[in-house]
Amino acid sequence: MNKKIALSLLSALILLPLLGCDQSSNEQQRRDTIDNNASVVDGKKSESNAPTSDANTAQLNTKGEQKHKEQLTAARSWDDIKRTGYIRALKLNFELEEALPRSYSAAAYHQSLLENFALEHQLTIKWVSAGSLNDMLEKLNTFQADIIARHLTVTESRASKIQFTLPVSSSREQLIIASHAPKPNLEQSQSITLLPGSSFIETVKENFPNWQIETFNGGVSSDDIANLLSERKVELTLLDESTVNTLLDYRQDIRVIKTLPAIKKQAWAIHPNAPALLQQLNNFINAHHLSSPTEAKRTADLDNIKKQKRPLRMITRNSPETYFLWRGELMGFDYDLLKEFAKRQGVPLQVIVADSYQQMQDLLNDGSGDVIAAGISRTEKRQKNSQFSIRYNRVNEHLIAHRDAAPITSLNDLNNRTIHVRRSSAFWMTLTSLQKKYSFNLVAADESLSTEMLIDQVDNRQIDLTVADSNLLAIEQTFRDDIVSPLVLKESIPIAYVVRENNPKLLTELNAFIAKEYRQVFYNVTKQKYFSDESQKKKLREERLLLGNQLSPYDDLVKPAAQAFNFDWRLITSQMYQESKFDPTAQSFAGARGLMQVLPKTASEFGFEQLTQPQEGILAGVTYLDWTRDRFDTKLPPQERLYFALAAYNTGFGHVRDAQKLAKQLNLRDDRWFNHVEKAMLLLQQPKYYKNARFGYCRGSEPVNYVRNIHQRYLSYLNLVP
């Protein structure tokens, strides 16, 4: 039998236990099947690892339902909100994991404003999901939430049902079509497809009364709408300008054919019977001078930015060192530092993504941004044209080689070797200086290749050598076993911020922030979060596979949890080993915790708080895996849906969707993981591809290896415990 066919049949057979159960049962029914007494660890009854009483178990089983099923018969008053310490805000299902903001994002802007409001009043936000705009309004009017904090267009019909705050933003509306579609004659009758329940329906009826209006099925995101346009499944739609601009940041397959002249006011909405809450929100809007989040290019200094409550605009790169999206969380060393700086200055932070240092300089100089924070090395050449802060970091320049390549012990060993770096990088200057004395080949790499991609090429033996700074080397060695740094080419290179010369107050405050925080607790914790080398720690972890018919110390907890959500318990055990090596106290660089390494924010969304308790940590992880599986099309083959769910668990649903879309563009199958979508996932490490992806940069090798390792270990577990 053909080997590939045999492997496919084996894969299908071993997945049969995963596919035999009806997946339509609701979460409460699943939880009710969990064994109340499943708390045996290493053959002994646990007294601390898991709740054992009926009351505790009942509490655990209903946590996920408490969040969204708070039954009230009246709107909560401001006093109720303050007393309970939280405000319930509605969010569309597809916004549970936001796209990577490259410039202004309406959804991110309004979410950050609500977070600032909550912070001022010492409140937490409990997000309530909704499937559509109509669902949002229904949940607000049935008291399931306190506020819709998004760019909701103010209309007379809506104002008769809900209470609007003062305007928070404004936007025009734009007609868009596919880039390759012919422009329609707008004077003639057209068919236009619109979001159900949106204000766009009223706009079209008013401006184009003869047009035929269709609506999208269910809750769709703006990205989904762009996909439908690009595929010519719909021909024409209407969206607000801010949403279109966000799409155009990373898509070239749609275009604007008309911008309607009317400026529409956008506001937040609450129930009409909450006047005190309305007053608090309006006070906040007035105090922060909120009216329009977008603005013309400006070169104002920090004092004017603070006075006018404008955002501090950070210019950076989408990269693993600076700014990226992981499991729905915006992260990055430079992003975290600037976010803290902006917080202390009392202004919001807005991120603008650029592709090169030259583009960063152009954005700074023309007033599109305020500060470059992208791991920029302060060199003599660059200082002639730019205003740098004092250093906030130091790095070394490391030569990168494959572990099995010819050894390099001194600079003399570089003779006749070949080094690839980008001509625009600071490494080029270092190497051209060294080339005066040593006879190595210096090759200008394609400017579209990031340093991490050049390291990947060394790892795969495609090129001989490259150069990287010590921060990126630390990140890469966390994920790669075959790269080494035989030489340090240059030591103690200062990394600094770049500002305009006419912004002395911003420069002074940045320098003061650096001087205060450099190598102090906040700085050290942030730096260690991203650049500590975990590879050695991973190698030293105990391989805690047990003998006999027990795979882990927590089999008796995993089995009922897996059964409740229609998973094979051996698969969950394999995933648990991959996540934590069976260590319930494990914590990742990003703060994911417990046996299944769930982020506290994500766990809280599902009603779990004690992630280091084995039973709760396992149930939180299985619940989250089930949630990721449910987000993929039920028409997918069940085993493929599971692979996609595992990949999404590791890196985030959005990155997997990006990979599916890219696979389709590359004539690969978007409904198969192995050898299809996983290939596209690997390409999302390359600027050429992630620049056009909604969720941006993704270390694609991580989810690819994650799914493969879990799958292979699962096969082994089936042999150990049939």
Catalytic residues: 579
- CA–CA gap between residue 467 and residue 489 (Å, rounded): 9
CB neighbourhood size of 128 (10 A)? 21
Task: Give, in order, the Cα–Cα distances in Å from 28 to each of 24, 604, 642.
Answer: 12, 17, 21
Contact between residue 165 and residue 268 where contact means Cβ atoms under 8 Å apart: yes
- Copy the structure tokens of residue 14: 């071993």
C-alpha to C-alpha distances, 613 to 552, 561, 585, 590, nearest whole angstrom: 15, 14, 8, 19
- Three-state DSSP class for 646? helix
What is the rounded CA–CA span in Å between residue 36 and residue 53?
Answer: 8
Report CA dihedral (447, 448, 453, 458) to the nearest 10 degrees: -40
The DSSP output letter for 673 is I
How far is CA 65 from its chain centroid? 25
Cα 68 to its chain centre, rounded Å, is 23
Cβ atoms < 10 Å from Cβ of 174: 20
Rounded distance, CA 601 to CA 610, Å? Answer: 12
Rounded to 5°, the CA angle 476-477-483 comes to 95
* Distance in angstroms (rounded) separating the CA atoms of residues 137 and 162: 8
User: In 17-110, at which residue ranges do the beta strands (DSSP E only) sit?
Assistant: 40-41, 44-45, 86-92
52, burial (CB in 10 Å: exposed 0-12, middle 13-18, buried 19+)? middle
Instruction: List the structure tokens of 325.
Output: 């999206």
Nearest to 168 by CA among 109, 123, 101: 109
Q: Which two tokens stand for residue 463?
A: 């090129």
For residue 391, the surrounding DSSP H or E stretch is strand 387-402
Per the CB < 8 A criterion, the answer to whether 313 and 350 are in contact is: yes
